[in-house]
Structure 1
Amino acid sequence: MATTIRRTVLTLPAAPLGPEDPLPPLAAPADVHRRGRGLPPDLPAEMARRMAYEPLRSLLPVRRRDGYTRERVPTDVEAIVVENDRLRATVLPGLGGRVHSLVHKPTGRSLVYTNPVLQPAGFALNGAWFSGGIEWNTGATGHGTLSVAPLHAARVPAPDGGEMLRLWEWERLRDLPFQVDLWLPEGSDFLYVGVRVRNPHHHTAPVYWWSNTAVPEGPGTRVLAPADAAWSFGPERALRRVPVPDGAHGSYPLRCARHGDYFYDLAADERPWIAALDTDGRGLVQTSTRLLGGRKLFVWGTDEPGRRWQEWLTEPGTGGYAEIQAGLAPTQLEHVPLEAGGEFAWLEAYGPLTADPAAVHGADWAAARAEAAGRLEAALPRAAVDAAYTAWRPYADHEPKETLATGSGWGALEVERGRLELPGTPFPATTLGAEQQPWLALLRTGTLPQDGPEPGPSLVSRPWREMLETTEPGPASAYHLGVAQWHAGDRSQAARSWETAERLGAGWPALRCLAAADALSGHPQRAAQRYAAAVAAAREGRASRAARVALAREAITALLAAQQVDEAAAVLAGLPPAARRHGRFRLLEARILQARGDEEGARAVLAEAEIADLAEGEGTPAARPRP
């Protein structure tokens, strides 16, 4: 039985994602991997160069996703099943192409941690993310901005004569297309995954890729990788080299007191692999061709915050998970340059592994490693992975046979602009939607039309910015030009463009950008004044509910920073009751009460508040999930 591919529907308790935040994110993204100290003296020079290369400084042109709640209801989720007689992989094309579950059919074992709920939480670079399964992270350090976004999906021919499931999209932070091909050769216990990231531009581009696998975490779960040392990165935000196994975690996730990353230091000639095995020596192993040479263990830790985060992401009492990960670089603090016109491509394999538990859990780390490596070689020789990669490469360019799901229209717009040829990953003009139409008009006519009652998403790459600079000034073009200039680092010129946009009638969107710029530039009083004006203009201009809610959130924060407490309270009172019940606004309500000296009232609000969009690493004490 070669690979079969079929559609299905899963019904899961899920919290609705809510609308995108329509306000362009001008603030730099929070970086939970930011180093708190200098680089360690034993860090290789090449790693240090990649850590300094093109770190993410802006989320633009991506919008934030923070409108979700924690009210889960039974929800039908479109899924695609990739199956042979040995394995069944269930993929969610509408949620980042995540492999939701991977089941070994002869034993009935689930090889990955399958989350029984879909609960968004603030872990992605742009907000909403959920845990479990195998996720594909590209763009920049962190969980990618496509975590809950739809990808294109289709059937394509597989190297063995069967079928593959192809997933692909245009990653907008770095403006690069990527694809993920999944198939199961006949009789294979391993899911093959071919991945390709291409750079169709005339300039070098930074690339980030980590495949993250959530694995069940039990008292006897041990993670093994072919390394004697790791780069440890924990809550103190200091990178240091530690031996493996280290006394801090001993390679057992539930022996680690605090959350942290362990990036294994694999030798250049080692076969890259990582495995998570239970007390009986059974579990999942992941391996790949050499290009994907990074391996990492992430643990939540056994302290109260780590356990609480586990519960926050799923149902209490359903068991926890750790993550075993594979990446393009040795650590997730690095970005890898990809030359103009070039591509990165590799093959991954995921499958069951059974090893001698006495060796796996013995005190001799070298023997434990050797036992797992030997069992992997017997189950899936390294040469077989390399051969599968070679066989897959010509098929990576095969055109899809049948569309199974549709992603965004941004790739089609970039293909149109650049007259690009991307064999295997078509971005057809039929996917161009309402958000792309104004930009298509700019491309074809040189004029950017007004894109509705309030601005749609901005485009900020250099080619689009240059088009905006040469088009006839208007409220829409001046507004979007300001966003592109802000992204490019030209803040003074961005402010002038937004002032022009306001003068030409852009209204509250331009006022909001000027207010956000003031707040980020250290002018709290002027920011508060402009935010108040933007809120009033949005109310009079009948802005969308999503825009008014997002604007109020920023405005209240700015008004409190300027100690204009009554004005902040008035903005909060002007929101619909349903919006005021959102956890983030309950937190702002508590801050208003505290600013008025009502400590008891603030504590009462926080006692019942639940902040659904709490971000990873967020430091507000009042915002921590309640134990």
Structure 2
Amino acid sequence: MSTTVRTAVLTLPAAPLGPENPLPPLSAPQDVHGPGAGLPDDLPPDMARQVRHGRLRSLLPVRRRDDYGRKRVPTDVTAIVVENDRLRATVLPEFGGRVHSLLHKPTGRSLLYTNPVLQPAGYALNGAWFSGGIEWNTGATGHGPLATAPLHAARLPAPDGGEMLRLWEWERLRDLPFQVDLWLPDGSDFLYAGVRVRNPHDRPVPVYWWSNAAVPEDARTRILAPADAAWSYGRERTLRRVPVPAHDGADHTYLLAGERSGDHFYDLPDGERRWVAALDGDGHGLVQTSTDLLRGRKLYAWGTAPADRRRQEWLTEPGTGGYAEVQAGLTRTQLEHVPLEAGGEFAWLEAYGPLTADPGRIHGPDWAAARAEAAGRLQAVLPRAAVDAAYAAWRPYADHAPKETLATGSGWGALEAERSGRELPGTPFPASALGDQQRPWQELLHTGVLTEDGRDPGPSLVSPHWRELLEAAEPGPYASYHLGVAQWHAGDRSQAVRSWECALRDGLDWPALRCLAAADRAAGHHERAADRYAAAARAARTGGATPAALTALTREAACALLAAGRADDAARIVEGVPAPARAHGRFRLLNARILLARGDAAGARAVFDEGFDVDDLQEGERTLADVWYAVAERLVAGPGPVTAEVRARARERHPLPARYDHLA
């Protein structure tokens, strides 16, 4: 069978993504992946530099995705199938180019964990993310902002004369284009992925890349990599060097050996072949290998703690088997970013396929023998030289123009191509991809005027090029508003406030008020922030803001009013949201906070007892647990003070129910 690339349709139970949050994310992103407890003394100097390099100040210009739900309905999803007589890879171009499944046809084995549902959860940098398959993470530390976004996709010739699938997009956190080329050589058991990230700018840019493969979780599944040590990173947010395979009384190369979830970044010696494998009790499973530029390898295991098991269940259907992640990246750990010089590129080749090894050696007590067995079997089925040769054969094809479009991504790359006048061989961003979100910026580019006619302002652009155009633009409320966002992103907060004040004076009421309120809150002016948030919410209700804007703004406003000690005002603001929105879990939690702040701890507890799910609870977010225990402490303390003894009794008498014990 010749290798083919064809389109298909999958019907999956899927929860709707909902619209983007139209409020620009002005606060710093929650850093659940950073070195919160500092860096160890034994960290190599280059690692230390890369950990400190390129961390995000904000998510701008990306918008949050937090309006999804948990009610799943059968949904038709566009798929692209890359297939030969040995493998079938099914790709979802509308969801970040995720390789949804990888089937080894001779054995009928699924090499990846394939989630039977599409259930967004708050794990991506900008919110919505889902588990399973192979995802391509770029931008900054964490699951990338394109996890649930469409990518451009096209069919074109592969290096061996067959067909190849190209996926590409303009990643907006770093303003960089990237591509992933997928093909199956004739008769091959391995899916090849040629990856390239380019820097078309005249300045260095920090780059992050980790390819993430989900594999089925089993007590007998062992993760193997050519390493005797790893950098361990867990909930305590400390990075420490540990021996492989065992430390702290457990062999952490087995997926269910540890109690709590955590990362192991394998410290692969220089010159060693780069690979990682997940093999079950019978010695069967997936192996991933690459050319040497992709130096890092990682295991993420969920552990056995009840909260972590609940986190897995949150991402799929009850009764579905669990999974772990084996990953490969540009750096030794995911806490690092590497600079890409102006005009430069990073390019490499990855290969994913089946591996079978002697289970006696794989699961024996001799770690060196176990990894040598896996390395030898890999060398037999896919020699290291063959991967290097495939990379060399692919490199000229990386610049080939796509022949047949199969899916269309965003218009942001087309806008950047129009602004810069640069052509990027192999990854065209055609003008036909431009849409309503890009049109005001096209107008600014060509006329010096920025106008909008929607009910809510569109997305802001914050790079130095666009900020300069905004500074030179004809004065107007939208130009001032977007200039303020760009100035805020650049760290010029006083100028941002002046720009938003100009926008407000020129008639752009609730968007400017909301930005000014966020600036006040960031500066610690909680009372003034509360006043401005309340005014913004009233103006949004009467001024025809979209439901998405009104809902997001109300949530922010209510939280600001609670921070200022104005629970009654927060309650009135929330009452202005339509009843269906108030029934959502985030508003149920907000209602419990308001009741507690008003002195009605029993009423707040009743909200929890009725039961609700906070659909968009973010990874690492403590709000739900914190409110539960604050309610419990007040119930135990009564009218008295909340002492350390009260806190201890509250946790003993009112443990957090399993339903709410996740994501924390």
TM-score, length-scaled by structure 2: 0.94
Give the aligned partner of residue 594 of structure 1: 596
8 Å contact kept, 1:262–1:297? yes
Which one-letter code corresponds to 1:198 in the other structure?
A: R
Q: How many Å separate the matches in 2 of 1:164 and 1:110?
A: 21
C-alpha RMSD over aligned residues: 0.9
Which one-letter code corresponds to 1:68 in the other structure?
A: Y
Deviation at 1:583, TM superposition (A): 0.7
Q: How many Å separate the matches in 2 of 1:360 and 1:453?
A: 61
**More displaced 10-residue stretch of structure 1: 568-577 or 384-393:** 568-577
Alignment of 1:359-508 (within 5 A): 359-508=361-510
Q: How many Å separate the matches in 2 of 1:332 and 1:28?
A: 19
Q: How many Å separate the matches in 2 of 1:286 and 1:458?
A: 39
Q: How many Å separate the matches in 2 of 1:589 and 1:549?
A: 14
8 Å contact kept, 2:266–2:297? yes
- Give CA deviations for 1:546-593 in whole Å, capped at 9, x if unaligned: 110010010011011111111110111111111001111110000011
Which one-letter code corresponds to 2:366 in the other structure?
A: D
Give the aligned partner of residue 100 of structure 2: 100
**More displaced 10-residue stretch of structure 1: 35-44 or 285-294:** 35-44
Give the aligned partner of residue 130 of structure 2: 130
**More displaced 10-residue stretch of structure 1: 604-613 or 262-271:** 604-613
SS of the equivalent of 1:253 reads: coil
Which one-letter code corresponds to 2:660 in the other structure?
A: R
Q: How many Å separate the matches in 2 of 1:247 and 1:331?
A: 19
**2:627 pairs with 1:611:** no
**2:660 pairs with 1:626:** yes
Give the aligned partner of residue 322 of structure 2: 320
Match of 1:568 among 567, 570, 573: 570
**2:295 pairs with 1:261:** no
SS of the equivalent of 2:51 reads: helix
Give the aligned partner of residue 140 of structure 1: 140
Q: How many Å separate the matches in 2 of 1:454 and 1:351?
A: 47
Deviation at 1:247, TM superposition (A): 2.8
Give the aligned partner of residue 238 of structure 1: 238
8 Å contact kept, 2:541–2:576? no
Match of 2:353 among 345, 348, 351: 351
SS of the equivalent of 2:128 reads: strand
- Give CA deviations for 1:147-188 in whole Å, capped at 9, x if unaligned: 000000000110000110000000000000000000000000
**More displaced 10-residue stretch of structure 1: 589-598 or 87-96:** 589-598
Tell me the number of residue pairs that the alignment of Structure 1 and Structure 2 aligns.
627
8 Å contact kept, 1:2–1:184? no
- Give CA deviations for 1:221-246 in whole Å, capped at 9, x if unaligned: 00000000000001111100000012
- Give CA deviations for 1:229-267 in whole Å, capped at 9, x if unaligned: 000001111100000012345100111110101000001
Which one-letter code corresponds to 2:613 in the other structure?
A: E
SS of the equivalent of 1:550 reads: helix
Q: How many Å separate the matches in 2 of 1:596 and 1:195?
A: 55
Q: How many Å separate the matches in 1 of 2:128 and 2:347?
A: 28
Q: How many Å separate the matches in 2 of 1:114 and 1:604?
A: 38
Which one-letter code corresponds to 2:612 in the other structure?
A: A
Give the aligned partner of residue 90 of structure 1: 90
Deviation at 1:454, TM superposition (A): 2.2
Give the aligned partner of residue 533 of structure 2: 531
Which one-letter code corresponds to 1:218 in the other structure?
A: D
SS of the equivalent of 1:384 reads: helix
Q: How many Å separate the matches in 2 of 1:481 and 1:474?
A: 11
SS of the equivalent of 1:255 reads: coil
Give the aligned partner of residue 56 of structure 2: 56
Give the aligned partner of residue 634 of structure 2: none
Q: How many Å separate the matches in 2 of 1:80 and 1:236?
A: 41
Give the aligned partner of residue 111 of structure 2: 111
Give the aligned partner of residue 329 of structure 1: 331
Which one-letter code corresponds to 1:447 in the other structure?
A: V
8 Å contact kept, 1:528–1:562? yes
Give the aligned partner of residue 642 of structure 2: none
**More displaced 10-residue stretch of structure 1: 282-291 or 467-476:** 467-476
Deviation at 1:472, TM superposition (A): 1.6
**More displaced 10-residue stretch of structure 1: 34-43 or 80-89:** 34-43
Q: How many Å separate the matches in 1 of 2:203 and 2:323?
A: 40
Q: How many Å separate the matches in 1 of 2:122 and 2:608?
A: 19
Identity %: 74
8 Å contact kept, 1:26–1:516? yes
Deviation at 1:452, TM superposition (A): 2.4
Q: How many Å separate the matches in 2 of 1:214 and 1:374?
A: 23
Which one-letter code corresponds to 2:234 in the other structure?
A: G
Deviation at 1:47, TM superposition (A): 0.6
Give the aligned partner of residue 282 of structure 2: 280
8 Å contact kept, 1:26–1:58? yes
Which one-letter code corresponds to 1:610 in the other structure?
A: D
SS of the equivalent of 2:339 reads: strand
- Give CA deviations for 1:514-548 in whole Å, capped at 9, x if unaligned: 01111111111001000010011111111111110
SS of the equivalent of 2:450 reads: coil
8 Å contact kept, 1:451–1:476? no
Q: How many Å separate the matches in 1 of 2:456 and 2:315?
A: 34
Q: How many Å separate the matches in 2 of 1:455 and 1:619?
A: 31
Q: How many Å separate the matches in 2 of 1:286 and 1:95?
A: 22
8 Å contact kept, 1:263–1:294? yes
Q: How many Å separate the matches in 2 of 1:539 and 1:310?
A: 38
Q: How many Å separate the matches in 2 of 1:391 and 1:321?
A: 34
Q: How many Å separate the matches in 1 of 2:165 and 2:330?
A: 22
- Give CA deviations for 1:355-397 in whole Å, capped at 9, x if unaligned: 0000000010000000000000001000000000000000000
Match of 2:341 among 327, 332, 339: 339
SS of the equivalent of 1:254 reads: coil
Match of 1:301 among 281, 300, 303: 303
Alignment of 1:126-205 (within 5 A): 126-205=126-205
Q: How many Å separate the matches in 1 of 2:377 and 2:49?
A: 36
SS of the equivalent of 1:196 reads: strand
Which one-letter code corresponds to 1:295 in the other structure?
A: R
Deviation at 1:38, TM superposition (A): 2.2
8 Å contact kept, 2:3–2:163? yes
Deviation at 1:451, TM superposition (A): 4.2
**More displaced 10-residue stretch of structure 1: 121-130 or 35-44:** 35-44
Which one-letter code corresponds to 2:49 in the other structure?
A: R
Q: How many Å separate the matches in 1 of 2:147 and 2:346?
A: 21
Q: How many Å separate the matches in 2 of 1:374 and 1:122?
A: 40
Q: How many Å separate the matches in 1 of 2:108 and 2:211?
A: 24
Give the aligned partner of residue 558 of structure 2: 556
SS of the equivalent of 2:36 reads: coil
TM-score, length-scaled by structure 1: 0.99
Q: How many Å separate the matches in 1 of 2:100 and 2:450?
A: 41
- Give CA deviations for 1:105-139 in whole Å, capped at 9, x if unaligned: 00100000000111100000000000000000000
Which one-letter code corresponds to 1:269 in the other structure?
A: G
Q: How many Å separate the matches in 2 of 1:455 and 1:420?
A: 28
Q: How many Å separate the matches in 2 of 1:127 and 1:271?
A: 35
Deviation at 1:601, TM superposition (A): 1.5
Q: How many Å separate the matches in 2 of 1:99 and 1:228?
A: 30
8 Å contact kept, 1:438–1:451? no
Q: How many Å separate the matches in 2 of 1:260 and 1:246?
A: 14
Give the aligned partner of residue 652 of structure 2: none
SS of the equivalent of 2:323 reads: strand
SS of the equivalent of 2:246 reads: coil
Give the aligned partner of residue 66 of structure 2: 66
Which consecutive residues of structure 1, in runs of 5 or more, have no partner in the other structure? none
Give the aligned partner of residue 209 of structure 1: 209
Q: How many Å separate the matches in 2 of 1:526 and 1:456?
A: 26
Which consecutive residues of structure 2, in runs of 5 or more, have no partner in the other structure? 629-655
